[in-house]
């Protein structure tokens, strides 16, 4: 090994005793059971439902309560204890208001919480648990969780709990145990894309994700849309706003990110003053709390930004003929005089023919008012401090895909042709497919955000729109984005967006095995984990495909999907014993009876330890480095200090 590296390592471990002790500690960690990994996908701004899943660990906390107390405590009391762990502040307010708080309840609750906490902390080192305990409660909780004398254990508990009650810190103590249980239940969090759009407050989800100690994100096309908007792509700025208008989501834009939509409201109110914009009435799934806007004005704003987006998208398509998307340059095919559009060689009547800002001779040119409006909106996106911090987090924790512990995580697909070959995308004159395509797109996404103004950055910023909706985009995975057809045409056949051939071929275990091999993983033991495609369980679809090699975990946490899926999403849970799917129930705020149903999908041959994980391999590399340092100390090649 390089002597300079060993000398750097020696600064951290300056003598034989320190190095040897670290080897022992790391070896002990490798022998512990692996932590529990949670895989979520397609939250789409549904912050209340997602935060509940985090707080409840998708039903695992209730499962631990049942394992610990099931024989001694009624189901009703176990449910009440679970609700307290998820929402301690809310429960204390409720119980205080109803006169239910007393020392008998506090004593019993503390005792039960300690037992549950012992169960969830059993697989961690004492130092790992101590790091998760609130600082002011470290000593008390550490003592309670590490009583070794079984004979006097109950007496010891009673003494400490009595002291906690006598000193008046019981309520604070209970809150601290609840936080500790939640912190220890989720060891690692994987987000398989689409945090943004449709639901009311993606920003609140992002705030919560930024608190997690071990998290990675595989970008979805909706995340890329926001990332591209923040990087300055005007078509994606319009897209983000259009989707928010469609679902009447003003809170995420204005209260969440401080994006001022007044200029859009004024522009739309003036330009579309006499237009009822009936086709653009919002689909209101959630009421705006901070800035309710009249639905008629929202419809005008929705139409105004839709027209602008169609123009900007046409400009991108014409600037990049290599994308092969001329058929999506729809505004060029509109006969504005007769109110029709030509698609696929046929002419269709438009449902809305009022286009006051369109020059038929140059339909893609923004009017002076539209250009000024987009400048204001783009500046608002670029200068939102909170949006900037969230986008930076998406980049620092995110990527196009991730391989971890034998599993391959990506949001959408590995694009394939109809004949089963890998579909290639042309990027800057070169063609890429398979893993090479995802690696190149990862580079492009980073260049769009981090490069300073240069041709490479401008190309990358443009390409972020292609990632959002292009036919060869692994994040989109469909032949077209038909939002023009859905907005302006009644023919349902034109609304159809056909999925990439990947979604058919990936039903085969052989194909999935080939994809896993492409990414350097074991085709027999690895899994592909996707989101993006809602699983229609009411139609008999299953999230487990290809003989257990593929998991599709977008079951529809978004309320916009639940009428077609019949379910409210999935969490994949990978612990030291098994792989499990938690099947969510529709979330109803204030109600606790929506604990997910957990299904075992794969039992491991033996309990997995940290030594079996990627982290375990990293620790082993560290141990081997330290062993070389020991040898250098003992040979005199490096001198000990201290």
Quick check: is 492 in a domain?
Answer: no
Say what the pLDDT of residue 536 is: 60
Whether residue 57 sits in one domain with residue 146? yes
Token digits for 322? 């290599």
The 3-state DSSP class for residue 100 equals coil
Cα separation of 156 and 506, whole Å? 57
pLDDT band at 558 (very low <50, low <70, confident <90, very high): low
Q: How many residues does the chain have?
A: 642
Mean pLDDT of 30-56: 91
More confident residue, 369 or 344: 369
Domain co-membership, 88 together with 159: yes
* 134 and 176 share one domain: yes
Residue 330 placed within a domain = no
Among candidate residues 173, 188, 203, the one where a domain is terminated: 188
Average pLDDT over residues 500-518: 95
Strand, helix or coil for residue 332: helix
pLDDT score for 149: 60
Distance from C-alpha of 318 to C-alpha of 519, rounded to nearest angstrom: 35
Q: Is the pLDDT of residue 373 over 60?
A: yes
Residue where a domain terminates, one of 169, 188, 207: 188
Question: What range does the domain containing 618 cover?
Answer: 3-32+611-635
Mean pLDDT of the chain: 90
Q: How confident is the model at residue 539 (pLDDT cuts 50, 70, 90)?
A: low
Closest residue by Cα to residue 209 from 195, 224, 194: 195
27 and 64 share one domain: no
Q: Are residues 102 and 133 in the same domain?
A: yes
Per-residue model confidence as pLDDT tens digits over 303-351:
999 999 999 999 999 999 999 999 999 999 999 999 999 998 999 999 9
Q: 78 in a domain, yes or no?
A: yes
- pLDDT digits 0-9 by tens, 223-268: 999 999 999 999 999 999 999 999 888 889 999 999 989 999 999 9
Residue 556 is predicted with a pLDDT of: 62
What domain count does the chain have?
2
Domain endpoint, select from 188, 208, 238: 188
Q: Is it the case that residue 220 has pLDDT exceeding 90? A: yes
In whole angstroms, give the CA distance from residue 143 to residue 154: 13
Whether residue 207 is contained in a domain is answered as: no
Using CA atoms, how far apart are residues 578 and 527, in angstroms rounded to an integer? Answer: 13
User: Do 148 and 87 fall within a single domain?
Assistant: yes
Average pLDDT of the segment spanning 424-437: 94
Sorting pLDDT into bands at 50, 70 and 90, what band is 136? confident
Query: What pLDDT shows up at residue 288?
Result: 52
- 457 in a domain, yes or no? no
Residue 461 falls inside a structural domain: no
Q: Sheet containing 340-343: which strands, arranged edge to edge?
A: 334-335, 340-343, 346-349
59/28 same-domain check? no
Burial of 115 (0-12, 13-18, 19+ CB in 10 A): middle
User: Rounded CA gap, 15 and 21, in Å?
Assistant: 10
pLDDT by residue (tens digit) across 316-327?
999 999 999 999
Whether 612 has a pLDDT exceeding 90, the answer reads yes
> Within a 10 A sphere around the Cβ of 131, how many other Cβ atoms?
12
Confidence of residue 526 (pLDDT cuts 50, 70, 90): very high
Q: For residues 161 and 147, what is the distance between their CA atoms, to the nearest angstrom?
A: 14
Integer Cα distance of 165 and 172 in angstroms: 11
Mean pLDDT, rounded, for 394-400? 97
Short-list 220, 264, 218, CA closest to 381: 264
Closest by CA to 428, choosing from 320, 325, 317, 312, is 320
Q: pLDDT grade, residue 291 (50/70/90)?
A: low
Q: What is the pLDDT of residue 81?
A: 95
Same domain, residue pair 59 and 149: yes
Is residue 307 situated within a structural domain? no
**pLDDT value at residue 562:** 53
**76 and 166: one domain?**
yes
* CA of residue 176 relative to chain centroid, distance: 27
Distance CA 389, CA 314 (A): 31
- 404 neighbors 190 (Cβ within 8 angstroms): yes
Do 101 and 167 lie in a common domain? yes
Q: Is 149 part of any domain?
A: yes
The pLDDT tens digits of the residues spanning 147-192 come to: 666 656 677 778 888 888 999 999 999 999 999 999 889 999 999 9
Q: What residue spans of 70-220 are helical by DSSP H? A: 75-86, 88-97, 103-121, 126-132, 138-145, 153-166, 170-185, 202-209
| pLDDT grade for 561, boundaries at 50, 70 and 90 | low
Judgement on whether residues 18 and 63 belong to the same structural domain of the protein: no
**3-state SS class at 421:** coil
- Report which of 553, 543, 572, 555 is spatially closest to residue 186, judged by C-alpha positions: 572
pLDDT tens for 3-14 read 888 999 999 999
* Distance between first and last Cα of the chain: 24
pTM: 0.91
Q: Kindly tell me the sign of the dihedral angle through the C-alpha atoms of 392, 398, 399, 400.
A: negative
**111 and 171 share one domain:** yes
């Amino acid at each position: 090994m390089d002597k300079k590296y060993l000398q750097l390592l020696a600064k951290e471990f300056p003598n034989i005793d320190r190095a040897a002790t670290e080897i022992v500690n790391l070896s002990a960690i490798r022998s512990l059971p692996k932590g529990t990994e949670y895989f979520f996908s397609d939250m789409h701004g549904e912050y209340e439902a997602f935060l509940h899943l985090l707080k409840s660990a998708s039903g695992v906390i209730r499962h631990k309560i049942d394992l610990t107390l099931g024989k001694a405590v009624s189901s009703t009391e176990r449910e009440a204890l679970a609700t307290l762990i998820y929402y301690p502040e809310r429960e204390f307010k409720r119980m205080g208001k109803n006169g239910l708080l007393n020392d008998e309840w506090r004593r019993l609750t503390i005792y039960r919480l300690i037992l549950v906490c012992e169960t969830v902390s059993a697989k961690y080192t004492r130092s790992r648990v101590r790091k998760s305990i609130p600082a002011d409660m470290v000593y008390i909780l550490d003592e309670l969780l590490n009583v070794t004398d079984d004979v006097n254990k109950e007496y010891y508990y009673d003494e400490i709990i009595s002291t906690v009650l006598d000193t008046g810190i019981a309520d604070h103590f209970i809150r601290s145990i609840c936080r500790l249980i939640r912190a220890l239940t989720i060891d690692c969090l994987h987000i398989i894309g689409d945090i943004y759009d449709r639901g009311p407050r993606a920003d609140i989800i992002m705030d919560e994700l930024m608190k997690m100690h071990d998290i990675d994100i595989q970008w979805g096309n909706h995340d890329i849309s926001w990332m591209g908007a923040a990087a300055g792509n005007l078509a994606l700025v319009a897209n983000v706003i259009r989707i928010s208008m469609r679902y009447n989501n003003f809170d995420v834009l204005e209260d969440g990110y401080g994006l001022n939509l007044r200029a859009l409201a004024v522009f739309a109110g003036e330009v579309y003053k006499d237009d009822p914009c009936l086709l653009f009435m919002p689909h209101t799934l959630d009421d705006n709390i901070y800035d309710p806007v009249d639905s008629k004005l929202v419809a005008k704003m929705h139409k105004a930004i839709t027209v602008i987006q169609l123009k900007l998208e046409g400009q991108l398509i014409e600037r990049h003929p290599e994308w092969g998307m001329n058929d999506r340059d729809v505004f060029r095919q509109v006969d504005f005089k007769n109110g029709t559009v030509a698609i696929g060689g046929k002419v269709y009547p438009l449902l809305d023919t009022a286009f006051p800002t369109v020059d038929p001779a140059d339909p893609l040119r923004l009017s002076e008012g539209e250009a000024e409006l987009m400048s204001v909106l783009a500046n608002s996106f670029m200068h939102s401090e909170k949006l900037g911090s969230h986008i930076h987090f998406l980049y620092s924790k995110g990527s196009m895909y991730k391989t971890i512990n034998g599993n391959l995580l990506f949001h959408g697909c590995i694009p394939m042709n109809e004949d089963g070959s890998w579909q290639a995308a042309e990027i800057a004159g070169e063609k890429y497919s398979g893993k090479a395509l995802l690696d190149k797109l990862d580079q492009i996404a980073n260049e769009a955000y981090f490069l300073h103004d240069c041709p490479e950055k401008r190309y990358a910023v443009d390409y972020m729109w292609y990632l959002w909706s292009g036919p060869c985009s692994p994040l989109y995975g469909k032949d077209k984005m038909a939002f023009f057809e859905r907005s302006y045409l009644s023919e349902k056949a034109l609304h159809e967006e056909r999925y990439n051939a990947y979604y058919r071929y990936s039903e085969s275990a052989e194909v999935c095995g080939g994809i896993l091999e492409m990414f350097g993983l074991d085709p027999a033991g690895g899994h592909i984990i996707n989101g993006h495609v809602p699983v229609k369980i009411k139609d008999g679809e299953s999230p487990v495909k290809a003989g257990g090699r593929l998991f599709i975990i977008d079951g529809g946490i978004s309320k916009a999907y639940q009428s077609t899926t019949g379910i409210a999403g999935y969490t994949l849970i990978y612990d030291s014993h098994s792989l499990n799917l938690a099947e969510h129930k529709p979330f109803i705020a204030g109600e606790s009876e929506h604990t997910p149903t957990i299904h075992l999908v794969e039992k491991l041959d033996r309990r997995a330890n940290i030594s079996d994980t990627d982290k375990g391999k990293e620790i082993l590399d560290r141990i081997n480095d330290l062993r070389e340092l020991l040898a250098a100390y003992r040979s005199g090649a490096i001198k000990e200090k201290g």
